[in-house]
Amino acid sequence: MTPHATLREVAAEAGVAVPTASRVLNEDPTVRVRDETRQRILSTAEKLGYMPNTVARSLRGSRTGAIGLIMHGLDSPINVSVLDGAQNRCMEAGYVTLLAGAEELATNHSQLRAFLARGRLDGVILHTGYGPGDRLVEQIAGTLPAVLVNSSDGKTAPSVCLDDAAAAETATKHLLDLGHEQIGFLGGTAGAPSSVRREEGYRRTLERRAVSPVILPAGWSADDGTRATRSLLRRKRRPTAVVVANAVTAAGVMSALRDADIAVPEELSVIAIHDPWFVAHLPVALTTVRMPLFELGAAAAGMLIDKIEGKPVVDRFIADPAPELILRRSTAGPPAR
């Protein structure tokens, strides 16, 4: 599929005039065409990978004062703080925000095209996760100003990231200081940049104490945490503590340990990265490392607004506030052998 087909190419392929294709693709309510023609234009645009040229359109007119927020995991309590930060910063600058789910737009080209065209957006904040979101970034960042959140390909758009390695270091050091010498790491989706950075921080901290790593892939959902924990418990020599790359995943870890009658923290300590509201209300309140998610969203919005206004924008790393250890009941010293 051609990633950035032109309007002229779509019109030629569909056998219509360029103005007709433009009005259909931009959902002009006054355009009068047969349903068959409209569908042919839309199908051709989807096949060729056409995106409305919002940048050119904005240059011809005034700014719209609208910013798109495309986020993965809209049902995740972790992403709520990122969204709040971004919307708060946009509101302060006088922008309205339009929200869409990354998973839906990544798999539904017509929905993506409609989102970009209908809103006449000045720019987009992309918090896409990992996997299908990669293609979404390519399509959008080549169409209008964009900023990436907690991911970066180094070329498509500027990005703002958390200090994931420092968060994992904080979590791992806490367990080491409690006396644990066998510490596992349950990662996120394989290859996800944030999970890779967290694993690096975990490894680096263990290396300083000459402790061997125990790494199991998991994912970002509670079900992923449950499956990974069951694998962990089948090991001949299981760790006495685990660092979980995500608090939602950790909820599944805690469920699996409860079902296996493994007492937390008496038999196994658990600490997770991120501190959403629910972790304090688990049957065993979860020790976490709190990350500056509100600040992450606000920084992304600020960078995008600067970019829209023609100011220079470079990649940014959120190191302040630093990751913060939140002590609760799920961590303690290792069990006596």
Percent of the chain surpassing pLDDT 90: 57
CB-CB contact of 188 with 252 (8 Å): no
- Which neighbouring-strand residues pair with 287? 271
State residue 121 phi and psi, 5-degree precision: -80, 145
Give the number of other CB atoms < 10 A from CB of residue 25: 23
For the residues 118-133, what does the mean pLDDT come to? 75
Tell me the C-alpha distance between 161 and 180, whole Å.
30
Res 148: pLDDT: 92
Smallest CA-to-CA distance from 60 within 34, 107, 22 is with 22
Residue 296: which residues within 8 A CB-CB, separation 6 or more? 82, 85, 149, 150, 160, 162, 318
Q: What is the dihedral of CA 309, 124, 165, 266, to 10 degrees?
A: 140
Res 176: pLDDT: 98
Least confidently predicted of 45-54, 117-126, 161-170, 275-284: 45-54
Does residue 140 or residue 12 have the better pLDDT?
A: 12
Tell me the C-alpha distance between 160 and 198, whole Å.
16
Res 60: pLDDT: 43
Q: How confident is the model at residue 130 (pLDDT cuts 50, 70, 90)?
A: low
Res 53: pLDDT: 56
pTM, to two decimals:
0.80
State the number of CA atoms in the 13 A half-sphere of 178 facing the CB. Answer: 26
DSSP state of 306: H
For the residues 19-42, what does the mean pLDDT come to? 81
Q: What domains sit in the chain, N to C, each tagged with a CATH number? A: 1-50 (1.10.260.40), 51-162+295-318 (3.40.50.2300), 164-291 (3.40.50.2300)
Tokens representing 202?
A: 């975990």
CB-CB contact of 187 with 218 (8 Å): yes
* CA dihedral sign of residues 10, 11, 15, 16: positive
Res 61: pLDDT: 47
Tell me the C-alpha distance between 313 and 311, whole Å.
6
Mean pLDDT of the chain: 87
Tell me the C-alpha distance between 121 and 297, whole Å.
18
pLDDT by residue (tens digit) across 218-256?
999 999 999 999 999 999 889 999 999 999 999 999 999
14 exposed, middle or buried (CB, 10 Å; 0-12, 13-18, 19+)?
A: buried
Tell me the C-alpha distance between 8 and 320, whole Å.
48
Show the DSSP H helices in the chain as ranges: 7-14, 18-25, 35-48, 54-60, 79-92, 102-107, 109-119, 132-141, 164-177, 193-208, 222-233, 247-259, 293-308
Q: How confident is the model at residue 115 (pLDDT cuts 50, 70, 90)?
A: confident
